[in-house]
Amino acid sequence: MVRVQDSVAASGHTPLRVPWTLIALASVACGTVVAVVAIPGVRATTSVSSATAVVEGVVRSAMVAIPVAVALYACRHRAQARFGKLLLGFSGVWFVALLSSSSSSLVYSVGRLAGWASVLFLACVILAFPGGRLVSRVDRALAAAAAGTVAFLYVPSALLVARYPSPSPFATCSARCPHNALLVTNHEPAFMSGFVAPFRDALVILIMVLVAARLAQRIRGANTLVRLTLVPVLSASIAWVLLIAFAVAARRIAPASVTTHAAVWLVAFAMPAIALAFLLGIARWHVFVTAAVQRANARLQRLPGAREARDVLAEAFEDQALQIGYWLSKPGRWLTAGGQTLQAPADSSGRFLTEIRDGRRRVVAVEHDALLRDEPAFIGTAGSLARIAFEGERLTARTGEMLDELSASRARLLAAADDERRRIARDLHDGAQQRLVALRLELELEAEKAEHDDAAEAATLRQFSAEIEEALEDFRSMTRGIYPAILNDRGIADAVRSAALRSPIPTTVEVDDLADYPQEIATAVYFCCVEALQNVAKHADGATDVRIVLAEKHSVLRFSISDDGPGFRSDRTRLGAGMINMRDRLSVVGGDLAIQSTPGQGTRIAGRIPLTTEAAAHSRAHDSQPGRTSRSHLRREHAP
């Protein structure tokens, strides 16, 4: 069973916007008509006093006014509009049935026929409560049996019987009842009293017993929603249905007994009482739905995920089997937050699938108790909550994809820059540096040749050679700054030691259990260490010692650069381009950077790079602990 509805449209049957004044007027009008017909009819067909006739007329007036008022009230609400219209149809038949107190033969006859129909009609209305639908095959079969009994047994009986059975819930006459104005023969056929009437009564008793059994089955298998809202109504309905069966049987066995008369009157009074039970059930239903919506809203302190939204709805509406799903265009099906396929349940399952669409676009689907299929408050709350949850997850996933794309783009840019650094360093080494070396060697040779002939010229040539050597040293320093060849040839440890030897401040390098790492990781660590050493030289006035530590532990590569300089207030100091570059480099390879500095106690810069997925997960858990702040949300896995 599936309902497809637009996301801006409400669900359910179209309600009737009946004002309260019109409900009151319609109820009073129906009751007045019944009273006007019943009072003189009772006096004409019975021997009761005028006062008793008035009392009976007023009672019958109330008996029709109550169902009409309840039916019109139910029609006002979208969730019960279908049931309200069904109950309104019964009220119309019941109104005609109560006219059987008339002394007019035609009105009396039509009223008695309507009375037969009203009993079976009300049984069908009870089966359809509260949604106005006969959901199961059993319910539809019982309704079909009731309709068939009226069409094939009661209607033909009205045309062939001379007198209607008595006593009756619809008429007070007995010996002085009007004749049957619908009779089409001169006399009643013998088979009517010998076969049709007993068979008809037996069939009615059987239908009522089966209806009671069906209602008892609904109560026995009731979920929390049914227990809270429908069990009182169903219990009262079972009592009335069994009373009908008893009254029919009693009238067949002992029509003149006090017990039979009492049962018949109880049947008559019970019919408006059932309408009041419907009103109580509808009121309890509205209270339950309102409280459920409030509970759902109270639990939403933030934007929920799909699983949390499902749990909130299931708990609020007392439906633990509730599921929400999103549309997967390929291969074209609804999926729950857990990835299971969400399909339309069978008609007999008591479940229902509501699809929420925005125009032609499928938005979300909600599988829920079939009783809630026409409840707009539930559909609106569940649809909106599911839509927000799945849209939030979709945006989160898209944001994650964009962050991954950004991380990959940054990694490609950094890799391209490092490749270009290596190319430039290689070209300079193989080109200009080699030419300078060759020029210095030629000058040395020329100086040796000129040593014997012209000592001054030889000294000049050796001076030029020394200047070229200085230029070569500057050139080597420049190429090392662009990209050190030692990093490719001998790894991080030796490259960092080489940088430490060039530092103007005495630097100690401690290395513990390093391995070979991917080029991007080695490059990131090296340039972070170089940048840190340059920062010490530029900004740590008075620093006399620098300590660099490189180590790998638990699949995490860690490094730190500590100095004994003056330090600074890290919470009040704006980070420079060097620090930002260091963080950017580490974030590209899934690492992060921490800066610790206190005035007068030096500065420590520490970085870490997880090398495996497990190490990265542990690192994220470590960052998420209270008091910790993750410095990088961009990750990338690297095999050691």
DSSP 370-394: GGGTT-HHHHHHHHHHHHHHHHHHH
More confident residue, 446 or 246: 246
Q: Are 192 and 205 in contact (CB under 8 A)?
A: no
φ, ψ (nearest 5 deg) of residue 336 = -80, 175
pLDDT of residue 622: 55
Please report which confidence band the pLDDT of residue 87 belongs to, taking 50, 70 and 90 as the band edges.
Answer: very high
- Of 393, 366, 391, which Cα lies nearest the Cα of 381? 366
Is the pLDDT score of 54 beyond 50?
yes
Is the pLDDT score of 426 beyond 80?
no
- For Cα atoms 114, 72, 374, give the angle at the middle one, nearest 5 degrees: 105
pLDDT of residue 548: 93
Is the pLDDT score of 302 beyond 60?
yes
pLDDT in tens, 200-245: 889 999 999 999 999 888 888 777 777 777 788 888 889 888 988 8
597 sits in the region (left: phi over 0; alpha: psi -120 to 50; else beta) called: beta
Is the pLDDT score of 411 beyond 70?
no
Sheet holding 323-328, edge to edge: 2-6, 351-358, 361-369, 323-328, 333-336, 341-342
Alpha helices of 7-102 — where are they, by DSSP H? 20-45, 50-75, 81-98
When mean pLDDT is compared across 121-125, 390-394, 586-590, the lowest value belongs to 390-394
pLDDT of residue 357: 82
Assigned token pair, 473:
């040293």
- Of 528, 509, 493, 546, which Cα lies nearest the Cα of 608? 528
Which secondary structure element, helix H or strand E, spans residue 578, and what is its range?
helix 577-588
311 sits in the region (left: phi over 0; alpha: psi -120 to 50; else beta) called: alpha
- Of 75, 72, 126, which Cα lies nearest the Cα of 95? 72
pLDDT of residue 428: 59
Q: Which pTM was predicted?
A: 0.64
Is the pLDDT score of 574 beyond 70?
no
Please report which confidence band the pLDDT of residue 636 belongs to, taking 50, 70 and 90 as the band edges.
Answer: very low
pLDDT of residue 88: 93
Report, as an integer, the average pLDDT of 381-398: 78
Is the pLDDT score of 418 beyond 90?
no
pLDDT of residue 236: 87
- Cα→Cα distances 326→249, 304, 319, 420, Å: 56, 15, 19, 47
What is the percent of the chain with per-residue pLDDT over 90, rounded to a whole number?
19
Residue appearing with tokens 């039979």: 260
Assigned token pair, 636:
């990338």
The span from the CA of 285 to the CA of 276, in Å, is: 14
When mean pLDDT is compared across 128-137, 425-434, 490-499, the lowest value belongs to 425-434
Q: Are 7 and 391 in contact (CB under 8 A)?
A: no
Q: Are 57 and 35 in contact (CB under 8 A)?
A: yes
Averaged pLDDT score across all residues of the chain: 81
pLDDT in tens, 334-384: 888 778 888 888 877 778 888 888 777 888 888 888 888 888 888 888 888
pLDDT of residue 551: 92
pLDDT of residue 69: 94
The span from the CA of 451 to the CA of 460, in Å, is: 11
Structural domains in the chain, sorted by start: 16-166+178-290 (1.20.1070), 306-396 (no CATH), 491-640 (3.30.565.10)
- Of 198, 45, 180, 62, which Cα lies nearest the Cα of 113? 180
